[in-house]
Amino acid sequence: MSLSQNPQGALRGVRRGGVPCLLSVGLASCSGGVLDPRGPVGADNATILINATVIMLAIVVPTILLALWVAWQYRASNPRGEYLPYWSYSGRIEAVVWSIPTLTVMFLSGLIWIGSYKVDPFRPLPSKVPPLEVQVVSLDWKWLFIYPQQGIASLNQLVIPAATPVHFSITSASVFNAFFVPQLGSMIYAMPGMVSQLHLQADDPGQLWGTSAHFSGDGFSDMQFQVKSVTDADFAAWVGSVRGAGPVLDRAAYAELTHQAQRVPPSTYGGIDPQLFHAVATQEIAPGPGPEPEGPSHAGREVSTGGKD
């Protein structure tokens, strides 16, 4: 039977298949983002976003429906639409106009207050497992991760054990930046001369990604890093394979990293200067040199980190 012979059946088929298709497309578009959380902080952030959206839709949807109803009720072709241009104060209208926004602001204020306390980046996550310490330095345009407990470091690659809280100490060696792993939650600024604190956790092993969420120059769009959540055994194996292999991240190696470079591949350092992060955060080590003179040698420059891939 052709479509022209049974148009109503065809329309019902489109409705049955189209709605699930649209829903699946909408959900797929959230994959890898803030609405696809992989940790407790990310889950709390997603809950706040969804709850706030629902509360605000309580005003938006009725307002849209009321505007459409008014346009239909008082259209020029409707003689039954009573038009009263002259009227005095209406207590009922005032009550509706002011009570709904007031209640909405109250609900949103309570939601934000509770959520802000719950996902406070300085607040340690409740866990029986001691947190992993990771020191983060934002450079132009790359991310440096120092593991002080393990005595190793990595560039543009963050490896963490699943189901273990991670305490990040974050600073910048250049301009303001923003450290953000969308599926783990809580974006926070990396600022020169200051140390920000952040507590995150990945619930399960998996491949995630992190990025800079604050424009910082030409290489901003490529300032991303790999995030690997692994089992405890795999994390111990990774640490064992990195420790003692490759170069040491001392002040000379760090000075090379401060030069601007784009699309730097991930690499690792088998040893670290234990005082390096403190020296960067307190600006005992001067900030990066910033933009360099343009020329053939500068265009598309990529730094050789000397680290182990």
Q: Where are the domains of the chain?
A: 34-81+89-119, 132-281
**Residues 153-166: tens digit of each pLDDT:** 999 999 999 999 99
pLDDT at position 6, please?
47
**Residues 104-149: tens digit of each pLDDT:** 888 888 888 888 888 889 999 998 999 999 999 999 889 999 999 9
**Residues 43-101: tens digit of each pLDDT:** 888 988 888 888 888 888 988 998 999 888 888 888 887 777 777 777 888 888 888 88
Mean pLDDT of 165-178: 93
**Residues 251-260: tens digit of each pLDDT:** 999 999 998 8
pLDDT at position 159, please?
96
Using pLDDT thresholds of 50, 70 and 90, give the confidence band for residue 249: very high
Mean pLDDT, the chain, rounded, equals 82
pLDDT at position 182, please?
93
Mean pLDDT of 25-34: 55
Q: Which of 298, 143, 275, 250 has the alpha carbon at shortest distance from 290?
A: 298
**What distance in Å separates the CA atoms of residue 158 and residue 170, rounded to the nearest whole number?**
13
**What distance in Å separates the CA atoms of residue 190 and residue 174, rounded to the nearest whole number?**
9
pLDDT greater than 80 at residue 301: no
Residue pointed to by tokens 């909408």: 26
* 215 or 198, which is more confident: 198
Cβ-based burial of 223 (10 A; exposed 0-12, middle 13-18, buried ≥19): buried
CATH class, domain 34-81+89-119, is mainly alpha
For 279-291, give the DSSP string: HHHTTSSPPP--S
- The CATH homologous superfamily for domain 132-281 is Cupredoxins -  blue copper proteins (2.60.40.420)
- CB of 167 within 8 A of CB of 201? no
pLDDT greater than 60 at residue 292: no
Using pLDDT thresholds of 50, 70 and 90, give the confidence band for residue 217: confident
Torsions phi, psi of 61, nearest 5?
Answer: -65, -50
**What distance in Å separates the CA atoms of residue 48 and residue 282, rounded to the nearest whole number?**
35
Please report which helix (H) or strand (E) contains residue 102, including its range: helix 91-118
Helix, strand, coil shares of the chain, percent, nearest 5, are 35, 20, 45
pLDDT greater than 90 at residue 237: yes
pLDDT greater than 80 at residue 293: no
- The pTM of the whole model exceeds 0.85: no
Could you give the C-alpha distances from 258 to 24, 65, 108, 255, 290, in angstroms and in order?
44, 56, 43, 5, 8
pLDDT greater than 80 at residue 18: no
Using pLDDT thresholds of 50, 70 and 90, give the confidence band for residue 246: confident
pLDDT at position 5, please?
44
Count the neighbouring beta carbons within 10 Å of the beta carbon of residue 309: 10
